[in-house]
Chain A
Amino acid sequence: MDPVIELDELELRFGRRTILNKLSASLTGRAIGLLGPNGAGKSTLLNTLLGFYAPSAGTARIFGFDIRSQARQVRDLIGYMPENDSFVAGMSGVKFVCMMAEISGLPPEQAMERAHEAFFHVGLGEVRYRPIGTYSLGMKQLTKLAQAIAHAPRLLLLDEPTNGLDPPARERMIQLIKDIRDQGELHLILSSHLLRDVEECCDQVLILKEGRIAAFCDLEKERRANRKFLELETRAGGEAFVTAVEKLGCQAAWSTNGRIKLVMPDGVEIRQLYALAAEQQVQIRRLNHKRDSLEDIFLKAMEGDRGRL
């Protein structure tokens, strides 16, 4: 798969401070999460990709376009939703989004049509003629999303899109992001410090810590791999049952209280375990897939010095 973003020893320094430290990665997912604690460099990385900061060393490519030498082409492909409030107070919502679409190169009539569509798409159709200054925080967030998608970018950069939203508004925002992702028309990068947002929306995650890549994981692969790990709680499941399970091709470890951990090879189904248990008169009282959640991955990444890239 062609990379969406390639980071090539990307480094950014402000004076003596190194903000991004030789980042290298190739991101190919449809929805890529940028995770990290506050000050890890997530927003700075997005700002660097947008050309707001010139890299001190190295470079990055977005869909093959170099951010240093082809900044205009890069920005042609991007829709950006910044973290903080960003709007022109006196303007109505639809006029503001229309202006932004025109600046992106759409002719005025098409820009106006798409501004209306974008407003309906994010669910603000009814208030689109009101000045943005009178919008609530949630409406302002949705307006930022509308202006980011109105010109039909290929890559959407979302910086903390659920910031300051109440739970229903957050749900709505996450659902919109998932809808956009599932339509398959564009790639998106979601920067957040909220693990849940990233876990719900993204299939790849880049975890940053102090300007370095602390971990990079493919959540899809991780989810698939997790399906092979099982934890069983049995009654009367002793050494004989474990030996029988191993004969199926599983790797297993058991403790004396009847708990068994096993790794299922390809081709072995869970119902075979139940059949084996019935044969040996062992009760399987609980069966769990091991769930190495994003939280575990994140905590591991925060503990270690370097990730598992």
Chain B
Amino acid sequence: MAVYKKTYRRYQGPLSPAWSQFLVLPRYALQEMRQSRFLSRFFLAGFLGPLICALFIYLHYNLGALKLLNISAAQLPGINARFFLGFLGFQSMLAFFLTAFVGPGLVSPDLANNALPLYLSRPFSRWEYVLGKMSVLLLLLSLLTWAPGLLLFALQGYLVGGGWAVENLGLASALFWGSWVWILLLSFLAPAISAWVKWKPAAGALFFGFFFVAAGFGAAINEVLRTHWGNLINVSHLIGSIWAWLFQQPLRRGSGAVFFRIGRGEQMPIWCCWAAVAGICLFCLYLLARKIRGAEVVR
């Protein structure tokens, strides 16, 4: 029967499993993202870094290519913890910009047009909604950070052979967990900001502000009070410290890309960095819990 001839009728077909319903949100969000040429290109450009790193690793173990370029393997930087930390830092910076472009559009359009009651009047909880929105970022940022990182690690292990991968398993672990700390922080922060600032451009600006203005403010506190505790509100400093700890790298050698680099003598106790990151995530969860509701409570 033609669709326009049909009237209302009951549905008696199969239903999707309840656990998978939150995946509807990332599917639609990714479809929407695909329609944006800029975001698609930016995302694809994020794979250039891993590609160049893969070529670099390959070059390291290809004597023919080295001879052709007239260089020796010893002249090239080593494939070690610093290499992977640098890779993570660069990819994480791209992940940050991607979040700044994608994140503000996650929750704010739903709040701006009061769509939340429609989501939450279905067999769909607030936490599934938040998880659904966060999973857009969890997926995209994973594809930019730890997934290519582990592939590079596997490539290096394959080319070196002789148990290199097993001996350096700590590197893979640091790469994986270091990426996840950053991904989780961004994935909590972006929806929380998006939920509180209903206007997309303002949410984007606030996201940048949270990183750069807070870092500047932290630096000002450090200067005025002659302390290092101002770094507690400098997110890139916190993440840089955690990465340096995970990769067991001395801080002064830098921890990844410029964005996450830590100055000499500015380090703080590592537990403070972990606590501050956890605190930011919990605060974001609290903000989301306040905003993601079917109906506002007016006391």
Contacts and interface: CB of A to CB of B under 8 A. Distances in A.
Interface string B22-55: 0011001000100000000000000000000000
A152 B11 contact: yes
Contact of A89 (B113, B293, B298): B113
B9 interface: yes
Contacts of A105: 15-16, 18, 21, 122-123
B121 A14 contact: no
A72 B117 CA distance: 14
Nearest to B2: A120
A120 B6 contact: yes
Nearest to B28: A99
A150 B87 CA distance: 48
Contacts of B109: 88-90
Contacts of A164: none
Interface string B1-25: 0011011111101111010010011
Interface stretch (A1-9, A76-84, A226-234, A244-252): A76-84
Contacts of A52: 117, 120-121, 293-295
Contacts of B112: 89
B113 A110 contact: no
A86 B118 contact: yes
Contacts of A15: 299
Interface residues of A, number: 51
A143 B280 CA distance: 39
A87 B121 CA distance: 14
Contacts of A102: 16, 21, 24
Contact of A50 (B4, B16, B110, B121): B121
B8 A180 contact: yes
Contacts of A95: 28
A52 B120 CA distance: 8
Contacts of B293: 52
B158 interface: no
A47 B118 CA distance: 12
A171 interface: no
A214 B11 CA distance: 37
A131 to B, nearest CB: 11
Interface in B265-299: 293-295, 297-299
A28 interface: no
Contacts of A133: 113
Interface in A126-178: 133, 144, 147, 149, 151-152, 157
B173 interface: no
Interface in A115-133: 116-118, 120-121, 125, 133
Nearest to B124: A103
B277 to A, nearest CB: 32
Contact of A107 (B15, B117, B120): B15
A269 B299 CA distance: 58
Given A99-B24, A105-B123, A151 B11 contact: yes
A82 B11 contact: no
B115 A87 contact: yes
Contact of A106 (B7, B10, B16, B115): B16
A85 interface: yes
A179 B8 CA distance: 9
A100 interface: yes
Interface in A36-72: 47, 50-53, 72
A73 B15 CA distance: 14
A103 B113 contact: no
B123 A72 contact: yes
Nearest to B7: A121
Contacts of A147: 118
A86 B115 contact: yes
Interface in B149-167: none
Nearest to A102: B24
A256 interface: no
Nearest to A180: B8
A125 B120 CA distance: 26
Contacts of A185: 8-10
B83 interface: no
24 contacts: A15-B299, A47-B294, A50-B120, A51-B120, A72-B18, A72-B125, A82-B121, A84-B114, A95-B28, A102-B21, A103-B124, A104-B122, A105-B18, A107-B14, A107-B15, A117-B7, A125-B4, A144-B118, A179-B8, A180-B8, A183-B8, A185-B8, A185-B9, A185-B10
Given A107-B14, A179-B8, 16 more contacts: A14-B298, A52-B120, A52-B121, A82-B118, A84-B114, A86-B117, A87-B118, A88-B113, A105-B21, A105-B122, A110-B11, A116-B3, A118-B8, A133-B113, A144-B118, A157-B121
- 10 interchain residue pairs of minimum CB distance: A52-B294, A152-B11, A80-B121, A105-B15, A52-B295, A15-B299, A47-B295, A102-B24, A120-B4, A117-B6
